[in-house]
Amino acid sequence: MTVANVYKQGWTLDEVHWDWFDPSRVDPAMLAAVKAAALVEYNAPDYVAYLKRVFHGASPETIGAIEQWGAEESQHGRALGRYAEMADPTFKLEDAFARFRKGYSPPQFSSVGDASIRGSRRGEMIARCVVESGTSSYYSAMRDACEEPLLREIAGRIAADEYRHYKLFYNTLHAQPDPDLGFWKKLWIAVSRVRESDDDELAYAYYCANVKPEEEAARPYDRKTYSRLSSANGASIYSRKHIQKLMQMVMKAIGANPHGWLAELAGSLVWRRLQKNGAAA
């Protein structure tokens, strides 16, 4: 059995083995996923600003951890973008990102208040744990499914970071002084955040990353269409074990047994839905 490398926190782009790139092993579907992921990761500064508003008045350590998280997420975008530019010289990260930012801006990013859209700091951290569960499993799946050596390394580095980010938000969740949320409230927040994967962020990122500006007239953006394409792309990368690991991390965040019946049921439902969406697309 192949054992994946364990990458430590604090790596830089200079440490990546860019000379490992093998163009003969680039998979077009995987490349499409990389381009879209690059835009989402590169958009981290807006999330940092939002979380700093939510945690206004928190300790310098908490604010510093949020800023460090954002810096690492942005680096993920740069690493994936640089890879995509090597694999497809017609792709330009900055140009694609400018289109994405112009068309995607959730209301919480422009808000001036310090309230979380999840209702509380605890709710916000549960939602962030859900996101980091997804990204950790996604990049682990990408690493395991990829045959191109450079992308396998980049995905491995990002997966390790995302797992550390999950632990950061999990610990922040349990460090909050306000009373714990009820189980059903936590479950609802988690389910709501999972359902948001069908919103414009992933779909529009996939569109901007893979449809060139000159093709927009012939291929206009439609959220349902590109959400299905993005989901199908994910279905081609994930394996069942990665989905189960994702759900175990989510269950832990909401206080459920990571290895209990609810985790098994949720994993089966999410896997079935992913496969269904992939087949439909």
7-57, pLDDT tens digit by residue? 778 899 999 999 999 999 999 999 999 999 999 999 999 899 999 999 999
Q: Which two tokens stand for residue 144?
A: 């395991």
Cβ-Cβ contacts under 8 Å for 235 (sequence gap 6 or more): 274, 275, 277, 278
| More confident: 275 or 36 | 36
pLDDT of residue 246: 95
Q: Residue 3: what pLDDT?
A: 44
Q: Give the pLDDT score at 2.
A: 43
d(CA 6, CA 182): 36
The pLDDT confidence band at residue 101, using thresholds 50, 70 and 90, is very high
Q: Give the Cα separation of 152 and 271 in Å (integer).
A: 23
Three-state secondary structure call for residue 85: helix
Q: Is the pLDDT of residue 277 over 80?
A: no
Higher pLDDT, 214 or 199: 214
Query: pLDDT tier at 1 (50, 70, 90 boundaries)?
Result: very low
68 vs 271: which has the higher pLDDT: 68
Pair of tokens at residue 215: 């093709």
Tokens of 156: 């491995």
- Continuous H helices in 114-259: 121-145, 149-174, 183-195, 200-210, 223-237, 240-253
The predicted model gives 210-239 an average pLDDT of 90
Q: Has this prediction a pTM greater than 0.85? A: yes
CB 207, CB 221: distance < 8 Å: yes
Residue 261 has pLDDT above 50, yes or no: yes
* Gyration radius of the chain's alpha carbons: 18
Average pLDDT over residues 55-84: 96
Mean per-residue pLDDT of the chain:
91
Distance between alpha carbon 2 and the CA centroid of its chain, in Å? 25
CATH 1.10.620.20 fits 26-280, yes or no: yes
Q: How confident is the model at residue 194, as a pLDDT? A: 85
CA 45 – CA 78 distance, rounded (Å): 13
Query: Is the separation of the CB atoms in 122 and 173 below 8 Å?
Result: yes
Task: Read off the pLDDT of each residue in 97-101 and give the average, rounded to a whole number.
Answer: 95
